[in-house]
Amino acid sequence: MKFTTIANAKRQTGLSYLGGVGISGKLQKSEKKNRTLTYCIYFAPANKSGYNVCRASTPECRRGCLATSGRTLMDIRRGKNIIENARIKKTRLFFEQQEFFMNWLVAEIKGVKNKAKNKNMDLSIRLNGTSDIDWTKPTLNGKNIFEIFPNVNFYDYTKDKNRFNTLPKNYHLTLSFTGRNWFQCKSVLKKGYNVAMVFNIPSHKPLPETFEGYTVIDGDITDLRIKDKKGVIVGLHWKNIADKQANDEVKKSCFAIQPNNPKCKY
């Protein structure tokens, strides 16, 4: 496959886009609160496409993945799998036609850069909406995406602590707590990075002020992690997924902090 234009790429693949701006409720919050357009890509999580995009995932996070929350959850409940199938196709395109994918990605980012400029807004890029790919590896003409756009701010969540060792200057990472990696989380916190942690607390109830002595901020107010204080826990309220049994089991597992946990201070 050879990339020429976005319109032609759509015709060749049957996909409407690779990523988009404000394509989730949380990204829309970033737009309103921070006057920041956030372009985000959602892949098929874990190895659902046949390719593993989350190598540091755990059984709990795979079962409780937010890939089936929000708009995807509504899509599934209507008896459709349009969003899920598009994500599988997009993920396979990334692995099987990477040069084509990267050319398309660069073209889309250039488009949203212009859109942000015209609206007099900031721009941020989150490439791992439902994946944990090391984006320093894929290249186009010898440059990775951070080198192609050195003046654009990128951010992601990751479960791989090793990715903090060689961070590009324009890439902000937040380590995700899995229920099994608290030792790594403490190490990252001590270095001034942040840790995202899910609490089994509904959205209308407050998160604890601290956990294990670390300040907890509300990470659901906005998705723009670049603006967060340093060395804090980014608290996230539990969000329901399509599989009710998995939903009930995972939110009570080690993956989520329970509200009566003695390490929580309110």
Other C-beta atoms within 10 Å of 222: how many?
20
Other C-beta atoms within 10 Å of 167: how many?
13
- What tens-digit pLDDT sequence spans the chain (266 residues)? 999 999 999 999 999 999 999 888 889 999 988 999 999 999 999 999 999 999 998 988 888 776 555 455 444 455 567 888 999 999 999 999 999 999 999 999 999 999 999 999 999 999 999 999 999 999 999 999 999 999 999 999 999 999 999 899 999 999 999 999 999 999 999 999 999 999 999 999 999 999 999 999 999 999 999 999 999 999 999 988 878 888 899 999 999 999 999 999 99
Separation CA 45–CA 149 (nearest Å): 26
Structure tokens at 128: 């791992």
- State residue 77's pLDDT score: 52
- State residue 179's pLDDT score: 94
Three-state DSSP state, 235? strand
Cα torsion 71, 72, 77, 79 to 10°: value is 120
Burial class of residue 82, CB neighbours in 10 A (0-12, 13-18, 19+): exposed
Q: Please report, for the chain, the start and end positions of each structural domain, with discontinuous segments joined by +.
A: 6-265
Other C-beta atoms within 10 Å of 11: how many?
10
**Which secondary-structure segment (H or E) carries 106?**
helix 98-118
Q: What angle do CA 208, 210, 215 make, to 5 degrees?
A: 120
- State residue 64's pLDDT score: 76
- What does the chain come to in residues? 266
Q: What angle do CA 91, 180, 228 make, to 5 degrees?
A: 70
Cα torsion 54, 57, 60, 62 to 10°: value is 10
* pTM of the predicted model as reported, rounded to 2 decimal places: 0.91
Q: What is the DSSP string of 3-43?
A: ---HHHHHHHH--S-SEEES-SHHHHHHHHHH-EEEEEE-P
Query: What is the Cα 175 distance to its own chain's centre?
Result: 11
